[in-house]
Amino acid sequence: MALIVATLLLFTAGPFVLWPLIRTPEETQETQPPTVGERPSVAKR
């Protein structure tokens, strides 16, 4: 019984968890956060 409940709950939560994979690439780029404290990357020569 607990297994069935767990499976149902996982299916319910699935769309929320996997949303970043479902989004379009444009939406993903819009929500990229800026990074603080990391060294800026150095372009390869």
Partner 1 sequence: MTPYLGSGALLAGLVMAGFSALLSFWAGWRENSVMVQVGRRAFYGSAAMIVLASVLLEFALLSHDFSLAYVVEHTDLSTPMPLVASAFYGGQEGSLLYWALVLGLLGSASLFASSALGLRLAGYAAGLMASIMSFLLVVLVIVASPFDILAVTPPDGLGLNPVLRDAGMLIHPPVVLAGFASFAIPFCFAAAALMAGRSDAAWIAHTRRFALMAWALQSTGLVLGMWWAYHVLGWGGYWGWDPVENVALMPWLATTAYLHSSQVQARRGRLRAWNFGLVILAFLLVVFGTFIVRSGVVPSVHTFAVSAIGPWFFGFLAVCLVFSIALLAFRVGGLGSNAKPAPAVSREGAFVLQNLLLVGVVVIVFWGTVLPLVSGMLGQERVVGASYYERAAGPLFVAILALMAAGPLLPWRHAGSPLLLALRWPAGAAAVVLAALLIAGVRSVPALLAIPLAAAAATTCLVEYWRLGLKLHRSWRGWSQAVVLVVRRRRRYGAYLAHLGMVVLVVGVAGSHFWQQEKDVSLMPGQQVTVAGYTLTYTGAEQRQLADHSELVGAMRLGDQTLEPARATYAGLGGQSLTHAAISSSPIADVYVVLTGMGGDGSASFQVFVNPLVSWIWAGGAIIILGVVLGNVGERRLASELAVARVRSAVPA
Residues lying near partner 1 in the complex (CB under 8 A) are found at 1-10, 13, 16-21, 28, 32-39
Cβ 7 to partner 1 shortest distance, Å: 8
Cβ 21 to partner 1 shortest distance, Å: 6
- Length of the chain in residues, anyone? 45
Residue 15 and residue 22 in contact, taking contact as beta carbons nearer than 8 Å: yes
Cβ 26 to partner 1 shortest distance, Å: 13
Q: Which is nearer to partner 1, 17 or 43 (CB)?
A: 17
Sign of the CA dihedral running 19, 20, 26, 29: positive
